[in-house]
Amino acid sequence: METLTEKPWFQHYPKEIPTSIDYEVSSLQSYLKRASERYPDKPALHFMGKEMNYKEVYDSALKLANQLKSLGVEQGDRVAIMLANTPQAVISYYGALFAGAIVVQTNPLYVEREIEHQMNDSGAKVMICLDLVYPRVAGVKEKTQLKHIIVTGIKDYLPFPKNMIYPFIQKKNTGIKVDLTYSERLHSFVELLNKGEAKEIPLEINPKEDLALLQYTGGTTGPAKGVMLSHYNLVVNTQQCEEWMYKMVPGEEVIIAALPFFHVYGMTTVMNLAIRMGFKMIILPKFDPKGILKSIEKHKATLYPGAPTMYIGLLNHPDIKKHDLSSIKACISGSAPLPIEVQTKFEEATNGSLVEGYGLTETSPVAVSNLIWGKRKPGSIGLPWPDTDVSILSAETGEEAKPNEVGEIIIKGPQVMKGYWNRPEATQASFREDWFLSGDMGYMDEEGYFYIVDRKKDMIIAGGFNIYPREIEEVLYEHEDIQEACVIGVPDPYRGETVKAFIVLKEGKTLSEEELDEYARKHLAAFKAPKFYEFREELPKTMVGKILRRVLVEEEKKKTKDQS
């Protein structure tokens, strides 16, 4: 592939990181096949006491692939997966790929309307889902092209006696007990695998052209769009991740898998990386700070990719000092800005390195990251990854911005998507020639380090001033009594918009609006200081732990409408 000419950020690369990589032109599922050959008896997955080695995971994926084929799945068909982090999620993902299908990851929290849209938009023929979400899937299946639904439960991959007890715990916690009657269109995941044959299906795959994944965006600006990621996009980003984390030892590391696999960040930096490198995954079905603390200590985990709220959750857990976290070597934080205070405290707690990365679903997802072992700058998202060109598009001139000038971040590289599924106009609008327009505002300094200012659409314009929520949130996070903060713009009759901050305090702490206002005005220009504060017990979040700013915006709009 064409390599980048000399870029300012290359001077900061350690000698171990190449500026350009010789990528494998292979299918994504070849990772699992190779791992099963190299590490057949090595534990691949640990799930609530149950372990599976690489040979068992590979054989299970092949069995599922053959059963999908027997259900009529052909190469290029879409198979939806609606699972929490479980062994079944890994098996289903690679099983679908071995069948030649395109994976459609579906968030288990989706309601019927969202499921219906995603199934109809993707044209998925088969859905693999948890028993807990089956009633929602069943409610829309007749309005979609779904021909078969395969159901599994958490208990299916638990060791005895946990598998016997878990259904009672599940019913107590959720109030849901699912009784299924299997039929020609409704299948048991376990029974299908038991009848399956572990043989490879011959496929002809063009990794650069053939899709491995339809990953739906969050739908913040209208209906969710299917991001088309090829085998090569995902192979490239996983290989870039390996090179960036050059101190990691193949076959040796232990990685905490708490980031959801159905999110592209968890999929690449946890699942695909672990399978490529022969790491052991400690799989947790949901974010549980106490469970993660125990898992890090018990399994001597060395890697813990997460989101800022995940690290905040651990740091604020009362038992953190009771657990030995010194095995942690590296953590890459993504999906939301990482407050500097959180980074510092987490590194003190673990002796490992926690750095912020940046990317989008459309970039598979990582495009930029701080060096794990090397020079980093406070507040910076770091340097572009190998073979990745990043630039700033000036809002004033529409051309490349000068150093330190704020503009839109644009990205070019082999991990950038092929486009949006069935949306040629949206695809065209997202590119300028072969540069992907991120919609994020930022700048590059003289040394080639990049900084996010904010989402273009989140910018608050108050009295003619451009105000970026991230800057205000950084200041609020530095207050010792604040656990979480989110800033939005709300209507103002005089300024057009003004600033409102939503605050979650640390346990046992109290703060008044007056005290916060005094603190904010001491650290921010007067026009940036929040005019309104709202204290909450918790903030709305995605399953990755990203604070849902748009939900707060929608709540405020509704409140304004109701008052008018």
DSSP state of 352: S
Least confident of 60-74, 201-215, 511-525: 511-525
**pLDDT confidence tier of residue 564, bands split at 50, 70 and 90:** low
Q: What does the mean pLDDT of the chain come to?
A: 93
**Residues in CB range of 7: below 8 A, 6 or more apart:** 19, 384, 389, 448
pLDDT at 355: 96
From 172, 201, 230, give the residue that closes a domain.
230
Instruction: Note whether residue 424 is domain-resident.
Output: no
Using the predicted structure, report yes or no on whether residue 336 has a pLDDT greater than 80.
no
- Nearest CA among 548, 549, 552 for reference residue 109: 548
Distance CA 172, CA 435 (A): 51
Total of domains in the chain: 2
Query: In this structure, is residue 84 part of a structural domain?
Result: yes
In a domain, 534, yes or no: yes
Examine the pLDDT at 221 and tell me if it is beyond 60. Answer: no
Res 265: pLDDT: 93
pTM: 0.86
Give the type of residue at 477: Y
Helix axis angle for 340-350 and 308-315, nearest 10°, is 50
CATH code for position 194: 3.40.50.980
**Residue 556, domain extent:** 459-563
Structure confidence at residue 250 (pLDDT): 98
Tell me the pLDDT band of 220, cut-offs 50, 70 and 90: very low
pLDDT over 90 at 437, yes or no: yes
Is residue 387 domain-resident?
no
In angstroms and rounded to an integer, the radius of gyration of the C-alpha atoms of the chain is 23
Is residue 353 in some structural domain?
Answer: no
- Please, how many CA atoms are within 13 Å of residue 52, restricted to the half-sphere of its CB? 23
* 9-27 mean pLDDT: 97
Give helix 30-38 / helix 54-70 axis angle, nearest 10°.
140
* 222 pLDDT tier (thresholds 50, 70, 90): low
Over residues 264-275, the mean pLDDT reads 97
User: How far from 341 is each of 192, 375, 453, 488, 507, CA to CA, in Å?
Assistant: 49, 18, 18, 21, 17
Distance CA 476, CA 497 (A): 20
Instruction: For residue range 315-331, list pLDDT tens digits in order.
Output: 999 999 999 999 999 99
Q: Is residue 449 part of a domain?
A: no
- The answer to whether residue 2 is domain-embedded is no
Residue 165 banded pLDDT, cuts 50, 70, 90? confident
Where does a domain end: 230, 252, 269? 230
Report the pLDDT value the prediction gives residue 542, as an integer from 0 to 100: 83
3-class SS at 188? Answer: strand
Round to whole Å and give the CA distance between 105 and 102: 10
Compute the 3-state secondary structure of the chain and give helix, strand, coil in percent, each to the nearest 5. Answer: 35, 25, 40
> Which of 1, 12, 111, 4 has the alpha carbon at shortest distance from 389?
4
Q: What is the dihedral angle through the alpha carbons of 414, 415, 416, 421, rounded to the nearest 10 degrees?
A: 120
Residue 349 belongs to some domain of the structure: no
Q: Quick one: pLDDT at residue 3?
A: 64
Range with the largest mean pLDDT of 45-49, 222-226, 467-471, 520-524: 45-49
pLDDT at 39: 98
- Specify the pLDDT at position 6: 86
Could you report the per-residue pLDDT of 497-531, keeping only the tens digit for each? 899 999 999 999 999 999 999 999 999 888 899 99
Q: Phi then psi for 165, rounded to 5 degrees?
A: -85, -35
Answer with the one of 174, 206, 230 that is the final residue of a domain. 230
How is residue 146 annotated by DSSP? -
> In the chain, pLDDT over 70 holds for what percent of residues?
98
CB atoms near residue 132 (< 10 Å): 18
pLDDT in tens, 142-159: 999 999 999 999 999 998
CATH number at 479 reads 3.30.300.30
